[in-house]
Amino acid sequence: MGRGLSPPAMEVDMKKTAVGLVSLALLAACGSDAEEEAVTILTHDSFVMSEEQIAAFEEESGYTLQTIAPGDGGVLVNQLILNRDNPQADGVYGVDTFIARTVIEEALLAPYTSPALPESAESLVVADSLTPIDQGDVCINIDTAWFEEEGMTPPEGLEDLRAPEYAALTAVIDPATSSPGYAFLVATATEFGDDWQDYWADLLDGGARVASGWSDAYYSDFSGADGDGPYPLVLSYSSSPAAAPGTDYLPDTCVRQVEYAGVVEGAANPEGAQAFIDFMLSDAFQSSIPENMYMYPVTDQELPAEWQEVAELSDTPIMVDPQRVDRGELLSAFADLR
């Protein structure tokens, strides 16, 4: 959904409005005593935490939680870079697979991997400064009813989509303006290597639609959401079918997106940031992630019933090495195709 790229953060359209976020202006108004007891977390604008969870964290840790939500994941990284010499936050949440490279190379975060991270999630760790908090899959979604009505065999994987008969039915999203769009671009570059531009040429020449954002693609172009769009294949999330009966996703088209939290290098309250990261791995917080942020927990939690039916994570996702993602190079090459 939410959630890289600049994700799933995931797109705001797929997620609820955050509760309890505090603006930068309010932070500036806080008294010095409150600031000493506070922990400030920089988040993407799709972050959701209930009032009860905030109260629980504050009671357990002894810190007052303050959050700054300036935009998507790309904005978070820009904020970290701009404020490198005078950090405005103690911790950050929302750095994902597709923007992690910049955070690592720029040494924007201090070493810290939460001891609360279960062994089953250790494979998601890409640097000692990034603790995985949630994960999701960006995938091609399918209007299964449309294909049944047309008596047409649906595609199965990325390779199928480049065929003209499927390309003409597919709505993807501009990777320069959308986090799932960029995730899909990275997925194709990972799968097809040096031939990824040929793959995209086939898609575009075959009539694939490139929407500017997730909302346009899903709610205007896709036939399976509101039922009015002309495209029965659309780029979205593996969690999307849980809210759209009659749709599914294609597991072999999915790319895994992990969202991380970390302690800001030079933070005034690194201990508070560590406490917050630990809290985000608690059962109480992890179990709320699907409902609140349309992502999947990294700890072992029972998913909502409707997710268990049609929105489990893919068993065959494309896994991306964040250190090999060169955003500028990919977007420049993609622009040349259009």
Q: Provide the pLDDT for residue 32.
A: 41
- Give the model's pLDDT for residue 29: 39
* Bridge pairing between strands 64-71 and 38-44: parallel
pLDDT at residue 74, rounded to an integer: 81
DSSP string across 2-18: ----------GGGSPPP
Report the pLDDT value the prediction gives residue 169, as an integer from 0 to 100. Answer: 98
Cα atoms found within 13 Å of the Cα of residue 128, Cβ hemisphere only: 3
At residue 10, the pLDDT reads 39
Interacting residues of 199 by C-beta distance below 8 A, sequence separation 6+: 158, 162, 188, 192
Q: CA–CA separation, 203 vs 75, rounded Å?
A: 30
Closest C-alpha among 65, 98, 113 to residue 330: 98
Domains and CATH numbers, the chain: 12-135+258-310 (3.40.190.10), 137-255+315-337 (3.40.190.10)
Contact 236, 141 (CB under 8 A): yes
Helix (H) or strand (E) holding 147: helix 144-150
CA nearest 304: which of 328, 280, 288, 281?
288
Q: How far apart are CA 157 and CA 135, in angstroms?
A: 21
Which residues on adjacent β-strands are paired with residue 298? none
Helices 196-205 and 327-337, axial angle in degrees (round to 10): 40
pLDDT at 18: 38
Q: What is the DSSP string of 66-107?
A: EEEEEESHHHHHHHHHHTTTS-S-SEEEEEETTTHHHHHHTT
d(CA 294, CA 288): 9
Which two structure tokens, joined as six digits, stand for 30? 């806080």
Per-residue confidence in pLDDT tens, the chain, 338 aa: 344 333 333 343 443 333 344 433 334 434 444 445 899 999 998 899 999 999 999 999 999 999 999 888 888 899 999 999 999 999 999 999 998 999 999 999 999 999 999 999 999 999 999 999 999 999 999 999 999 999 999 999 999 999 999 999 999 999 988 889 999 999 999 999 999 999 999 999 999 999 998 999 999 999 998 878 999 999 999 999 999 999 999 999 999 999 999 999 999 999 999 999 999 999 999 999 999 999 999 999 999 999 999 999 999 999 998 888 888 899 999 999 98
Of residues 338, 330, 333, 13, the one with CA closest to residue 208? 338
Q: What is the pLDDT of residue 160?
A: 98
Q: What is the DSSP string of 48-66?
A: ---HHHHHHHHHHH-PEEE
- pLDDT confidence of residue 338: 82
Which residues have C-beta within 8 Å of that of residue 61, sequence separation ≥ 6?
39, 272, 275, 276, 279
**Which pTM was predicted?**
0.83
Residues linked to residue 260 through DSSP beta bridges, in sequence order = 95, 132
